[in-house]
Amino acid sequence: KWSIKKWLSLPGEMRPLILCEYAHAMGNSLGGFAKYWQAFRQYPRLQGGFVWDWVDQSLIKYDENGNPWSAYGGDFGDTPNDRQFCMNGLVFADRTPHPALTEAKHQQQYFQFRLSGRTIEVTSEYLFRHSDNEFLHWMVALDGKPLASGEVPLDVGPQGKQLIELPELPQPESAGQLWLTVRVVQPNATAWSEAGHISAWQQWRLAENLSVTLPSASHAIPQLTTSETDFCIELGNKRWQFNRQSGFLSQMWIGDEKQLLTPLRDQFTRAPLDNDIGVSEATRIDPNAWVERWKAA
């Protein structure tokens, strides 16, 4: 996002920008997709781009038990090959959606929402179409349990707005996370969707009632013992031991049974994804791959 915004501000640069491949939908991906769409909506000259790509380009093979699996480069005895780098779609080869497709749909939805108090502002990004088969369904839930809900027909023109005032919302009687979720639902089937299709949605966390009484403690007070090397906290049949020098949790017991093989330590790395590894292989290291840069840092 930063680099494309910088390009827009170059002296004398007035051209529109369409990104060739700004998202690579391989494996666990599209984590930064929302930032691009924030920029697309903020700057009219940023006119979108192309996701690489739509579908995994694998073929179905069967194991010795007749179970199907997705085959890619190297699974046919082919050498050289591109390994799994044909498996980078928003959907699997059989068109089952990847989780990334949900994120892509959400960021590209044609209705946008803003919440101010109890007023929801619905903005249509359709250029020519007036809403004619949409209801806005809203629900307030506490820790996932519905407290109130309602439905309002959408009546918004192309690039227009509609303000929807929610009724006075109930105050929860217990502490928890309070969320307001809105969904645009199509009650009637269309040429491309079934009845009840959700075409857009948004969610906000609401401020909880601070006067809610917190639940009283249901257990005895934890007991703290110390030594020259450790702190030990004990509650019921559980014990936690912390090293005084490192601060790490060095052991945990349930009854007399130890729960940790080694002390817990800080871990600021994660398992690398396909995009992190790139074309790097155990026998042919690519020093420019992100995973190799992390190792060398």
CATH code of residue 201: 2.60.40.10
Does residue 179 lie in a domain region? yes
The answer to whether residues 119 and 177 belong to one domain is yes
Predicted TM-score (pTM) of this structure: 0.75
| Cα 174 → chain centroid | 28
| Cα 156 → chain centroid | 29
Does residue 240 lie in a domain region? yes
Low-confidence stretches of the chain (pLDDT < 70) are 1, 208-219
Rounded Cα distance, 17 and 21, in Å: 12
Question: Is the distance from CB of 1 to CB of 33 less than 8 angstroms?
Answer: no
Rounded Cα distance, 259 and 252, in Å: 5
The answer to whether residues 8 and 83 belong to one domain is yes
- Residue type (1 letter), 24: H
> What pLDDT does residue 115 have?
95
Q: What is the chain's percent helix, strand, coil content, to nearest 5?
A: 10, 35, 50
> What pLDDT does residue 250 have?
94
Given 81, 104, 127, the domain boundary residue is 104
Does residue 51 lie in a domain region? yes
> What pLDDT does residue 170 have?
75
Given 69, 104, 139, the domain boundary residue is 104
Q: Which domain holds residue 6?
A: 2-104
- Three-class SS state of 58: coil
Count of structural domains within the chain: 3
> What pLDDT does residue 1 have?
63
The answer to whether residues 120 and 100 belong to one domain is no
DSSP state of 90: S
Rounded Cα distance, 137 and 151, in Å: 4
Given 104, 130, 162, the domain boundary residue is 104
